[in-house]
Structure 1
Amino acid sequence: MYLVPDGDELEIANAAAEFLADAMTIDRLHGDAPADMSADLRAQLGVMGWYALALPEQDGGSGLSAIEFALFFREVGRQCGPIDVLAQCLAAMTVPDDSLRTELTRGTMGVALAVTDGEDIRVFGSSDAAYALLASRDGAQLIALKGMASQDRPSLDPSTSMRIAASQHSAIASRSGDYVWQMGQLATAAQLVGLAEAALDQIVEYAKVRETFGKKIGSWQAVRHPCADMAVRLEAARSQLWFAATAIKEGRADAGVHLDAAKHLANLASVANTDTNIQLHGGIGVTDEHHAHLYMKHALVLVKMFGARRNLLSRLLNAEVED
């Protein structure tokens, strides 16, 4: 098992980073309205083939592995990308119909992400999405949103709108088993790792230029030590992410265990790193004009998806791994 991305894998990551930095710059989040996925951005991602990255070639996809999938979503996380990007990818994995799958991979039809909320469902994503993807460890369903009554809710994260809809729905497509859930968990962990990386990069650059008492703040232990802690948390989460992605690629029986561990470590690293980034920036870290608070808001939403702390720890308590 080789755990460091290289060669073609890094080319995918670099291409994704370049494309996403231009197509969904984080500056978009400083407006007054939520920066939802636009029809134009959805189509651009479809043209580039990002939704079909991990789909088998016989299904019209690129036939790449979980490693490239994780590398792509790490870059999505660094840009606080809309949750619709993940929902669109997972929906394409769920749908057996070729024509509908083609519409989804091309970005012709939009998909939001749904999670259960008591007797209702909470929908995250653009208001013009035609479908919602509802996934669990037992299977995934694609739900038609047309005609479904919903109520908007304020969203902490400006990258994604949120609304509540009635749970009475019929699935237009479904897939049993935990594959869609696992790929959603992997992608979410990757986004959180991307956020933890972006937060560390931001404070390191700031520490090189900000001065107090005639010295760069990076020279003070009160800044250096928290930055070192951020780097350690990030490396642990990133290493476990690569292990989990490789375990899926190689079909290991304990891939689910490594995924749970990857999501847990990514949860910890993203929240702690984005919080430390704000603290070390001082008062400007929470101003509307700064990016630092946007990283934390996005992380706080993603940590609740595809495995939150209590659920993950209870599963890991008695988990078994291969030798």
Structure 2
Amino acid sequence: MYLAPEGHEEEITGAAAAFVADAMPIDRLHSTGSSDMAPSLRQLLGEMGWFGLAVSETAGGSGLSAVEHALFFREIGRQCGPVDVLAQCLAANLATDDRLRAEIISGERGVALLVADGDNHRLIGSADSCLAVSVTPGSTRLFSLAGTPTASRPSLDPANSLRVIEALPAKLDECKGDDSWRLGQLGAAAMLVGIAEAALDLIVDYAKIRETFGRKIGSWQAVRHPCADMAVRVEAARAQLWYAATAVKEARADAAVHLDVAKHMANTGALANTDTNIQLHGGIGVTDEHNAHLLMKHALLLSRLFGSKRMLLGRLLNARLED
């Protein structure tokens, strides 16, 4: 079992990092109307084959593994990429109709993420999405949004828009089991690790140039020690992410346990790092013009998708690992 990216996996990481930084840089979120995937971006992602990374070659995808899936979404997270990128990938893996799957992989049809909210349901994703995917640990369903009335709601996270529907729309496809949940959990955890890394990079760069009392702030223990804590959290969450991705790839019996641990560590690491990043930046860290708040808001949303703290710790309470 290889526990760190190597060879072609590093090539995919480099290609994904360059593509995502160019196609959806985090600075875009300072402009109005920059949330979600625009049709042009969705088509570009489709042309590059990113939506079909984990879809088998016989089904029109790239036939890669959960490891490459995680590597891609780590880079998505670093740039606060919208959640509907993940929803699009999950729908591509779910769809059994060849034509529908091809339209999803190509980006011709957009997919939003459908999340239960009491008696109602929330849609996270672009308003022009004509499909919605709902993912739970035991079932994944694909719905048509055609003719479904939705009501917009304010979104905490500028990277994603939010709508509410009262009743479930027409179901197009359904798959029992937890394969899609695992891919979703892995993608969300990878995005959170990317956010935690981006927060660390942001404050380290700032600590090298900001001066107080005639010295760079990075020379003070009050800054160095929290940065060291951030680096430890990143390393721990990233190592567990690689282990979980490899466990899924190798179909280990305890893969679900490692995924729960990876998501929990990614949740806590991203939330703590984005908070520390803001605190160490001082006054500028709380301004709307800075990227610090974008990372925190994105982490707050992702930490509640595909496993929040209460759910994950409850599942891990009686978990069993392979020898």
Specify the SS of the correspondent of 1:253. coil
> Corresponding residue for 2:127?
127
Q: 8 Å contact 2:200–2:230 — kept in the other structure?
A: yes
Percent identical: 63
Amino acid paired to 2:256: G
> Corresponding residue for 1:206?
206
> Corresponding residue for 1:171?
171
Shift in Å at residue 150 of structure 1? 1.3
Amino acid paired to 1:94: L
> Corresponding residue for 2:161?
161
Q: Distance in 1 between matches of 2:248 and 2:12?
A: 18
Specify the SS of the correspondent of 1:319. coil
Specify the SS of the correspondent of 1:209. coil
Q: Distance in 1 between matches of 2:103 and 2:170?
A: 20
Q: Distance in 2 between matches of 1:137 and 1:236?
A: 25
Specify the SS of the correspondent of 1:54. coil
Q: Distance in 2 between matches of 1:154 and 1:224?
A: 37
Q: How many residues align?
A: 323
Q: Distance in 2 between matches of 1:288 and 1:317?
A: 40
In the alignment, does 2:139 pair up with 1:139? Answer: yes
Equivalent residue runs for 1:219-258 within 5 Å: 219-258=219-258
Q: 8 Å contact 1:34–1:161 — kept in the other structure?
A: no
> Corresponding residue for 1:11?
11
Q: Distance in 2 between matches of 1:118 and 1:35?
A: 25
> Corresponding residue for 2:272?
272
Amino acid paired to 1:314: G
Deviations 1:264-311 (A, max 9, x none): 000000000000000000011111111010000000000000000000
Shift in Å at residue 180 of structure 1? 0.3
Q: 8 Å contact 2:28–2:34 — kept in the other structure?
A: no
> Corresponding residue for 1:60?
60
In the alignment, does 2:296 pair up with 1:296? Answer: yes
Q: Distance in 2 between matches of 1:37 and 1:62?
A: 22
Q: Distance in 2 between matches of 1:85 and 1:33?
A: 17
Query: Scaled by the length of structure 2, what TM-score is found?
Result: 0.99
Q: Distance in 2 between matches of 1:53 and 1:73?
A: 11
> Corresponding residue for 1:38?
38
Amino acid paired to 2:264: H
Deviations 1:4-39 (A, max 9, x none): 111100100100000000000111101233522100
Taking only aligned residues, the RMSD between alpha carbons, in angstroms, comes to 0.7
Specify the SS of the correspondent of 2:231. helix
Q: 8 Å contact 1:126–1:161 — kept in the other structure?
A: yes
Amino acid paired to 1:232: V
Amino acid paired to 1:211: E
Q: 8 Å contact 1:264–1:312 — kept in the other structure?
A: yes
Amino acid paired to 2:49: G
Q: Distance in 2 between matches of 1:123 and 1:169?
A: 12
Q: 8 Å contact 2:145–2:170 — kept in the other structure?
A: no
Specify the SS of the correspondent of 1:132. strand
Deviations 1:199-218 (A, max 9, x none): 00010000000000000000
Q: Distance in 1 between matches of 2:165 and 2:34?
A: 19
Specify the SS of the correspondent of 1:160. coil
Specify the SS of the correspondent of 1:129. coil
Shift in Å at residue 176 of structure 1? 1.1
Amino acid paired to 2:28: R
Q: Distance in 1 between matches of 2:179 and 2:40?
A: 29
Structure 2: runs of 5 or more not aligned? none
